[in-house]
Amino acid sequence: MKKRKVVSMSLAATVALSAAIAPVHAAPNNANSEKVHVNEKSKAPDFISGKLTAPSTKSAKDIVFNYLAQKQELYKFSNDPFTSFKVVEESKDELGFTNLKLQQIFKGVPVFGSVVTAHVDSQGVLTAVSGEVAPELDKKQALKSGAKIKRSDAVNTASADLAAKLGQAPVLEHEAKPEFVVVNARDGEARFAYAVEFEFLSPEPGNYQYFVDAQTGDILNSYNQIHEAKGSPGVTSPTGTNSVGTGKGVLGDTKSFNTVTNSNGSYLVDRTRGNGIFTYNGKNRTQTPGTLWLDADNVLNAAFDAPAVDAHTYAAQTFDYYNNVHNRNSYDGNGAQLISTVHYGRNYNNAFWSGSQMVYGDGDGTTFIPLSGALDVIAHELTHAVTDTTADLVYQNESGAINESMSDIFGTLTEYHFNNNPDWLIGEDIYTPGTAGDALRSMADPTTQGDPDHYSVRYTGTGDYGGVHINSGISNKAAFLLSNGGTHYGVSVAGIGNEKMGKIFYRTLTQYLTPNSTFGQYRVASVQAATDLYGASSSEVSSVKAAFSAVGVN
């Protein structure tokens, strides 16, 4: 892992290959087609598409569950679908599709990461089922008996391990609350476990996910997911009138932004977007959120003000990009507050989503200048929050690389949307100020920073949590080619432009990707998203297929 690549954009492992298997299994109910895509490693289906059912006036849930009942042998879930899955979300999109998200359960216990999405069109036809199901749980010996370890003991075990990793016990932002789940351990065997999450800022920022075996007390897995959004506890806006302030950003440019003014002065609070945008002063300490930013005259031109000006303005612009382009109201779709803290720590070379808010260091002046000075960095981090509230891609292995790439893609698209000196570099505005043209990553040519641009040369080690930043280059190159066109590894891609590329990947992320998605599932999900938007025979679908083929994902 190249240390210079970490701008909260964090780390991952275990590479699974995927392959498309063209039409198999006759579709039920006189449906016309069915294509099953399986994960080569697990041999389990992870994407089925086509006209999977005949038109129907039944509820979307009934259509999906009846289909799954006919596919029990293929998926190998233990009981009938009505006791094997729980609907956790149902929504209708602008194309008229009813989209369901199903959580797999076993004996009433959620199976971690086993989420399925299903999509029913306006005619009541099921068109796609995405996601891998944990098979034959009823045959797993370890699941024959329940928990033997107390929840408190599981938390203590995980806490002790985390303290050993850090060299001291962390100061938690909130109490760790274990969740009883079924999890696939590293040996591939399903077990009951306690999932425990620790969010902290001291002695260093972290958001660790632990899994502790509920029968033996052994730690099954752990990883840092600091970028992920679990929702803010919320803050209260000061009283006052909405106003507009002005100020200079990190790069010296003048900006205007929304504030709230009362007899105390003007606060960096924007009440015009969702449930509010709030910017705080960390005062070079490591506690968040800090003090709500207050200015005497609503003119923030001092050098110390600059990181706050950019954090506040760029959070609003990221909100506007998702709201205006994708009709998404904040990262969760429900107007969630956007909270930022600037001047975090001293010479801190990082920016991250802590699990409940954005945090920005000032940099040391050599590796970084204040990290809130880059729109693509802010949009990158807030896209992690979008991902966490939609696909919830696990932050390791291939799913983690897709997670990172989605943040790079939408960070770049936000930069282009506002014409903010746009390019296909990530973090170039705030990284190594003494080196012209340098950046954290290049989407146009990932190899310039040592990242792969083709699946055949992917990183397969355990560093960077299995290469979440490194292997993001594969997807980044595909996105660049899809937008701009070009020939790569002998495959020619016809570019379709930023707008269409963004719409396809947004639909892929929010409707079709699931927690443990591989690159293979990512490809077929993107093809399906393009099919929904532009039609199966469209040039856009052809370009999506070519872009993934060009980076070796077939």
Cα separation of 469 and 460, whole Å?
A: 12
The helix-helix angle for 539-550 and 472-484 (nearest 10°) equals 140
User: Is the separation of the CB atoms in 533 and 504 below 8 Å?
Assistant: yes
Among 227, 469, 488, 540, the active-site one is: 469
Catalytic residue check, 381: yes
Calculate the CA 247 to chain-centre distance: 32
Give the N- to C-terminal CA distance of the chain in Å, as an integer.
27
Helix (H, G, I), strand (E, B) or coil at 55: coil
Residue 416 burial class via C-beta count within 10 angstroms: exposed 0-12, middle 13-18, buried 19 and up: middle
Helix (H, G, I), strand (E, B) or coil at 71: coil
Own/partner contacts of 254-260, CB < 8 Å, gap of 24 or more, are: 255/309, 255/310, 255/313, 257/309, 257/312, 257/313, 257/316, 258/316, 259/295, 259/298
DSSP string, 334-391: S---EEEEEEESSS---EEE-SSSEEEE---SSSBS-GGG-HHHHHHHHHHHHHHTTT
Among 173, 199, 381, 415, the active-site one is: 381
Q: How many Cβ atoms from other residues are within 10 Å of residue 435's Cβ?
A: 10
- Dihedral, CA of residue 166, residue 169, residue 174 and residue 177, to nearest 10: 90
Instruction: Indicate which residues carry an active-site annotation.
Output: 381, 469
